[in-house]
Structure 1
Amino acid sequence: MTRRKASSLKHFQSYFYMILLLLPAALQARGLPEFTDLIEERSPAVVKINTIEKARSRRSAPQRQDIPEIFRHLFEQRQRQQPQRQARSMGSGFIISEDGYLLTNNHVIDGADEISVSLLDHREFEAEVIGVDERSDLALLKIEASDLPFLSFGDSDELKVGQWVLAIGSPFGLDFTASQGIVSAIGRSIPTENNENYVPFIQTDVAINPGNSGGPLFNLAGEVIGINSQIFTRSGGSNGLSFAIPSTVAQEVVRQLREKGRVDRGWLGVAIQDVDSDLAASLGMSKPVGALISQIDPKGPAAESGLRAGDVITKFNGYDINTSGDLPHAVGRTQPGNQVDAKVMREGKEITLEVTVGSLGGENDQVAGTRANMGGRLGVEVEEVGDRLRRAWNLDGGVIIKRVRPDSPASKAGLRPGMVIVQMGFKAVKDVEGFHSIMSELPAKELLPIRFFVNGRPVFRSFSLPE
């Protein structure tokens, strides 16, 4: 090899090694993100949530009929003294205001008797449930603290597939773990067990595992654009498909829970299905899009607005309806009572109808309110009394106790799950709505009578409510 060729090769090698050294910086300059500042600044507002649910394996015991009345109180006393097993679970959440409001998934705290919140600085607080929304799987909690770090919401409607996102949470109990990825799809429809579909999920490839539920999903600006909620898995761990509740949905849920303790959604009163190629051709459509109305509630808002079975809704309140799953998302986000435009294909022609959206009330209408009371004045969760129990115990009203918070006024008065409250103070309790109405009017720090049924037997006790 000549001296000139050797010199050229040496220069080439030096140039090649320089490129290798500069490659990471060059890639970063092309847009690969750096997450260290975001994690350091936002982690203090992310929380770990621990819950305890006391087992109630003996719930059916008070219904025994073979115990003589004279000994029944001894049996009940012994039952109260039985130690309760505890089921523990964990999840994540994040603070949304400096005075202690925080957000998590409903499934993280569902059924919990005790909820504790741990911060990055090792402070721990007991949390009160302000309200829940099972349809979106969100729960609003409150801790008694001030000047807390908190997170701000971004606009999830601006998300695009391919954008970088970051999650912080406590997978498998490993506190304040960060994982990153990209948005892999938006507007995913995942029906619930009740076949409801009101959340257009954000799909990502961020590593989400058990314990991440309820934690924040950030954009590169450090804004919360999603609440991590579900994973697709065959093993119980991350398979690269995770789903987050969009921030636009979460913000509306938070607003309604703070204002009225429940979430009302838009409602049309229709059954819908997808449009395939053959249906599109038979309906005079150029391509298979929209939500085909297969059935309509004759007393619902859709019928009153002139919609018919066989109509295909292709646009609703400004939202494009490409598949049937898009329609519940659009309707649910519309304020009940609003009049909006719906573009419809009918008999091969496109028409526009003005639709007045009805109201789909908060689930069971009492769920959010009763959960608020779990951390509220009396400390019980109640529900309507079934017809069978009404007949068996000869009741003309009342509410059945579903859960009792430990060390609450209800617990101190001897109330337990399965009992039916029929009177508080001097007013009869007819139903769940009446229960909450009476509760809101009762004075604090006064001994008040309460009447309830235990195994069909009426009992009077006294209780006192805190301020």
Structure 2
Amino acid sequence: MSISTPTSRPLLRLITALATAFMVFSTGALAQNLPEFTDMVRENSPAVVNISTTQSVQGNRGGMPDMPGMPDPDDLPEGHPFRDFMDRFRDDDGQRSPRRDARSLGSGFIISEDGYILTNNHVVEDADEIIVRLNDRRQMVAELVGADDRADLALLKVDGEGMPTVRTGKSSEVEVGEWVLAIGSPFGFEYSVTAGIISAKQRSLPMENYIPFLQTDVAINPGNSGGPLFNLDGEVIGVNSHIYSRSGGFQGISFAIPIELAMDVADQLRDGGEVNRAWLGVVIQDVTRDLAESFGMDRPEGALIAQVLPDSPAGAAGLEPGDVVLEFNGNDVATSGALPPMVGQATVGSTVPVVVMRNGEREKLEVELAQLPDDMGQQSNEQSRAQPGVFEELGLAVEPLNAERRDALGLDDDVTGLVVAGVSGGPAADAGIESGDVITRVNSEPVDGVEPFTSIIDGLESGQSVPLLVLRDQSQRFLALRIP
């Protein structure tokens, strides 16, 4: 039992008052350290636009979905109940396949006072009509000036003068951990504002390796695509483009195209309607710790050349398989994912210095870059698959488990399989595969070489999951790899 005395009560009140004051002060100090977005949103919202498109697509018979086993009404006799029912859906010309409008939503932002707008290509691709809705509720029909599928960017034009525009900054100067903000129309909710931080820089994504993406934790959902990513100075530093998700909705990882690259593409589309990119002509992979040691390197770094493509600038300059690219045009190449954006943003026809590690020694070569061929997206994938063990569509590179690697991993002589030489995102990363893993079985079939592995993978259908038995740290586990 406690006893309260007259002298203790004032002391208790004083302590309570001081504690309350401290809590209020601490909360106020914390609030002062948080960024203030209201002025920035108010200033930039007029230059952000909502984009809606319509596309005329062929409808199914009678406007109803095709179903396995459903008979064609024309094959049924006159007077059949099902045929009579379906005839109700014919148009005036007796056609059962009317065209209908498919709609999509996205975002964009105005980059010039005369009405040029930047957005993602996938927002307006194959659109018959593009409608731009401004912050003041005006609607305009936009013209597609040009699009770049590789960068997933499109340039639009509306008639206007003195239109509000965004200010562009430098994504190269943003630091990991800085606050950023997005304005867009997720799920059609116009001018929604979300904020977060820069999570990483120069991210490489499968099939889009010419873009050094900014990774953020800003909430991005369908409808945000093509919208701006701002820094705290109110400058656009990126174009919101992708999310990484297992569910289709936002799960904490989103990607933006750096604004310098986006504006370069926009300038080329405005000037000539197409985009030119430099081409080196190599198939590359990550340098693992084991590979670095085997090449006499102090640590894993650079981009390992697995193949030099025929009639390429790399071949003409004397680059060889086994070379590790450490520097390109004066810039350090930290990982294999860093090289393609450097090449893509270089000037076509320019001669650039390339520093490689070859036979344990650094060598400097001069490479005259050519223009990336129009079919190189498809050709590059085919060439990558032609190189044994490189599966670009999976984000995976594997190598045979030879005696040297078996000894390095401390494995018994009777262990067979494939060593994972590199993982560059995509389905392999989603499955949890890591460099140094040993794949011993695929779909319950043992694999003792690249050819059996390739045969099994090529025999699977898109969207199918296949179990891999993986040996890691002397223990086995199953991982599920989904075929893209």
Q: Does TM, normalized by the shorter one, top 0.5?
A: yes
Q: 103, 106, 109: which is aligned to 1:94? A: 109
1:347 aligns with 2:359: yes
Kept in 1, the 8 Å contact 2:115–2:157? The answer is yes
Deviates more, 1:5-14 or 1:78-87: 78-87
Corresponding letter in the other structure for 1:226: G
1:361 CA drift (Å)? 4.8
Within a 5 Å distance, the mapping from 1:98-117 to structure 2 comes to 98-117=113-132
Corresponding letter in the other structure for 2:55: E
1:10 aligns with 2:13: yes
SS at match of 1:325: helix
Kept in 1, the 8 Å contact 2:155–2:266? The answer is yes
TM-score in terms of structure 2 length: 0.68
Deviations 1:421-454 (A, max 9, x none): xxxxxxxxxxxxxxxxxxxxxxxxxxxxxxxxxx
Match for residue 340 of structure 2?
A: 328
Kept in 2, the 8 Å contact 1:156–1:225? The answer is yes
Tell me how large the CA RMSD over aligned residues is: 2.1
Corresponding letter in the other structure for 2:245: T
Q: 292, 307, 310: which is aligned to 2:322? A: 310
Match for residue 162 of structure 1?
A: 177
Kept in 1, the 8 Å contact 2:58–2:97? The answer is no
1:9 CA drift (Å)? 2.3
> 2 CA distance for matches of 1:361 and 1:152?
33
> 2 CA distance for matches of 1:356 and 1:80?
58
Corresponding letter in the other structure for 2:57: A
> 1 CA distance for matches of 2:150 and 2:156?
17
Corresponding letter in the other structure for 2:118: L
SS at match of 1:341: strand
Kept in 1, the 8 Å contact 2:168–2:236? The answer is yes
> 2 CA distance for matches of 1:270 and 1:81?
51
Kept in 2, the 8 Å contact 1:264–1:361? The answer is no
1:22 CA drift (Å)? 2.8
1:328 CA drift (Å)? 0.4
Kept in 2, the 8 Å contact 1:264–1:362? The answer is no
> 2 CA distance for matches of 1:266 and 1:148?
34
> 2 CA distance for matches of 1:363 and 1:13?
74
1:214 CA drift (Å)? 0.4
> 1 CA distance for matches of 2:248 and 2:310?
44
> 1 CA distance for matches of 2:106 and 2:293?
49
Match for residue 146 of structure 2?
A: 131
1:20 aligns with 2:23: yes
Corresponding letter in the other structure for 1:258: R
Relative contact order (C-alpha < 8 Å, sep 6+): which is higher?
1
1:50 aligns with 2:63: no
1:274 CA drift (Å)? 1.1
Kept in 1, the 8 Å contact 2:59–2:98? The answer is no
Kept in 1, the 8 Å contact 2:317–2:365? The answer is yes
Q: 256, 273, 287: which is aligned to 1:244? A: 256
Deviations 1:379-435 (A, max 9, x none): xxxxxxxxxxxxxxxxxxxxxxxxxxxxxxxxxxxxxxxxxxxxxxxxxxxxxxxxx
> 2 CA distance for matches of 1:290 and 1:79?
64
SS at match of 1:214: coil
1:25 CA drift (Å)? 2.8
> 2 CA distance for matches of 1:80 and 1:354?
64
Corresponding letter in the other structure for 2:357: M
Match for residue 38 of structure 2?
A: 36
Identity of aligned residues (%): 52
> 2 CA distance for matches of 1:130 and 1:290?
38
1:273 CA drift (Å)? 1.1
> 1 CA distance for matches of 2:49 and 2:276?
28
1:81 CA drift (Å)? 12
SS at match of 1:183: strand
1:257 aligns with 2:269: yes
Q: Which runs of 5+ in 2 are unaligned?
A: 61-91, 378-484
Within a 5 Å distance, the mapping from 1:390-401 to structure 2 comes to none
1:24 CA drift (Å)? 3.6
Match for residue 349 of structure 2?
A: 337
Match for residue 371 of structure 1?
A: none
Deviations 1:141-182 (A, max 9, x none): 000111111102110011211100000000010010000011
Within a 5 Å distance, the mapping from 1:261-410 to structure 2 comes to 261-361=273-373
Kept in 2, the 8 Å contact 1:315–1:344? The answer is yes
Q: Which runs of 5+ in 1 are unaligned?
A: 59-76, 366-467
1:80 CA drift (Å)? 10
Deviations 1:353-375 (A, max 9, x none): 2222111156799xxxxxxxxxx
1:34 CA drift (Å)? 0.7
TM-score in terms of structure 1 length: 0.70
> 2 CA distance for matches of 1:204 and 1:113?
33
> 1 CA distance for matches of 2:308 and 2:269?
30
Match for residue 427 of structure 1?
A: none
CA shift in 2, pair 1:102/1:364, >3 Å: farther
1:140 aligns with 2:155: yes
1:304 CA drift (Å)? 1.5
Aligned residues: 343
> 2 CA distance for matches of 1:234 and 1:4?
64
Kept in 2, the 8 Å contact 1:277–1:288? The answer is yes
1:57 CA drift (Å)? 5.4
1:140 CA drift (Å)? 0.4
Corresponding letter in the other structure for 2:20: Y
Match for residue 137 of structure 2?
A: 122
Deviations 1:111-163 (A, max 9, x none): 11000000110000000011101111000000011111110211001121110
Corresponding letter in the other structure for 1:44: P
Q: 100, 119, 130: which is aligned to 1:85? A: 100
CA shift in 2, pair 1:148/1:364, >3 Å: farther
Corresponding letter in the other structure for 1:19: F
> 2 CA distance for matches of 1:310 and 1:205?
37
1:233 aligns with 2:257: no
